[in-house]
Each structure stands twice: as C-alpha cells, then as structure tokens.
Structure 1
Amino acid sequence: MFDIGIEKFALLLVLAVIIFGPDQLPRVARQAGQTLRQLRRLAANATSDLKEGLGPEYADLDLADLNPRRFIQKHLIEDVDEPRQVERLGAGLHGRGRAPYDTEAT
C-alpha cells in the first residue's frame, strides 16, 4: 500500500518521538490505530450498504473495477487478441506512435 523503506520508517519514527515525546507516543499510536480501524469499518459498511441498495443484480459488483485505469484495462485492453494490437493501443493512448485504428501501416 505504502512504499516506505526502512530508512523512511526510521525517520518517521524519530520525528514522531521528537514531536510527541517518548511518553505520549504510545497514546498517539493507539489513537491512530483506533481511528484507522473506525475508518476501515466505515468504508466496509458503506460498501455493503451500497451493494444492498443496488439489489441482487449487482451482488457481484467490485468497486475497484470502477477505477478509471482498471476500467480501461478491463474493457479495452483485455478484448484485444494479438500482442501487437496491445502495443499499438498503448502507443495510441500515450500519444506515441500510430493510433490503434491506423490500418495503413499493417
């Protein structure tokens, strides 16, 4: 989820000790953990309420599929059969090379 190496984690820990002090740090960490659990619970409840409100025809709805990148990948790129077409489609999306509908070069 987060790309934090050991060096960055150590730096964050030192900053937390400096800002909150060694005696207040356990209390702050406990409160942060409780807040994170509450946010996760809230998100899970919102997701289940949304699925329940949509009805049984949307029971298999995966909200991650609504991410624009994943949506494009699922509906455009997975439908392409040949690897060459995938390369051309990617080049067309990034503005490099020919567009995927350019048939003169084939």
Structure 2
Amino acid sequence: MFGLGWLEVGALAVIALLVFGPEKLPQAAAQAGKTLRNLRRMANNARDDLQAGLGPEFSNFDPADLNPKNFVRKHLIDDIDDDWNRKSASEPAMAPTAPEEPTTPQLGYGEIPPYDSEAT
C-alpha cells in the first residue's frame, strides 16, 4: 500500500491515535476520506475537460505521458527498442568473427606516448 510496509502503517496508526485521540480519530479518518475522494474527482474532471477541449485529433492523448519518466520511455527508449527489433529481424544472423588487430601501434614497456596538443 503506497510502498509502505506493515510496520510503517502500524506506526502511522499509533501516531494518528496519539495526535487525534480515540474520540476524534474516526471523524478525522472520515474527513480524510472525503477530501481524498474530492481531490480524485477534481483531477478526473480536469483530465476530462482537457481531453474535451483538445478535440478529436488528440483522442489518444494521455496526461500521464507528460510525466518526464513516461515521456523519455515512450519517445526515446521505446523507439530505440523498436529500431533494434526491426534491425535484428531484417538482418540475417551472422557468424561471430575474430576481433580485428588494433591499428595503432602498441607501446612497449617504459615508452612514453606521443603528445597531442589538440587533445586537451
């Protein structure tokens, strides 16, 4: 429940009991439930108004896609996965090849590499 374990929920219940007392705790819980229900209804109404105002050309618009995590996953990572799957499906499987020899000469023990002034 909301990423909380039973120990955290129990601690919150004990704290609520100490803060509100046994007489006012049921009323506070009922008020919190009403407030949560009103907030959820307002969010749903705002989403419905937004979708109605955008018109039919945005019928597949989902406000959750505006979350940066969802946006990156949908537009970047999924596109990369699609490209990878399309590429691997269209290319035949190739046999593994031996690694190529390095084109740069290997330095011997104690040799100093050449200095490149443009590299810094």
Are 1:14 and 2:3 matched, yes or no? no
Q: State the one-letter code of the partner of 2:84.
A: E
Give 1:59's aligned residue.
59
Q: State the one-letter code of the partner of 1:23.
A: E
Per-residue deviation at 1:17? Answer: 0.4
Give 1:82's aligned residue.
84
Q: What is the Cα-based RMSD across aligned positions, in Å?
A: 1.4
TM-score by length of 2: 0.65
TM-score by length of 1: 0.74
Q: Matches of 2:27 and 2:64 in 1, distance apart?
A: 34
Share of identical aligned residues, percent? 53
Task: Provide structure 2 residue ranges, at least 5 long, that are not aligned to the other structure.
Answer: 86-120
- Structure with the bigger RCO (C-alpha within 8 Å, sep 6+) is 1
* Structure whose alpha-carbon radius of gyration is higher: 2
- Describe the SS at the equivalent of 2:23: coil
Task: Provide structure 1 residue ranges, at least 5 long, that are not aligned to the other structure.
Answer: 84-106
Number of aligned residues: 83
Q: State the one-letter code of the partner of 1:29.
A: A
Per-residue deviation at 1:74? Answer: 0.9
Per-residue deviation at 1:68? Answer: 1.1
Moved over 2 A (4+): none
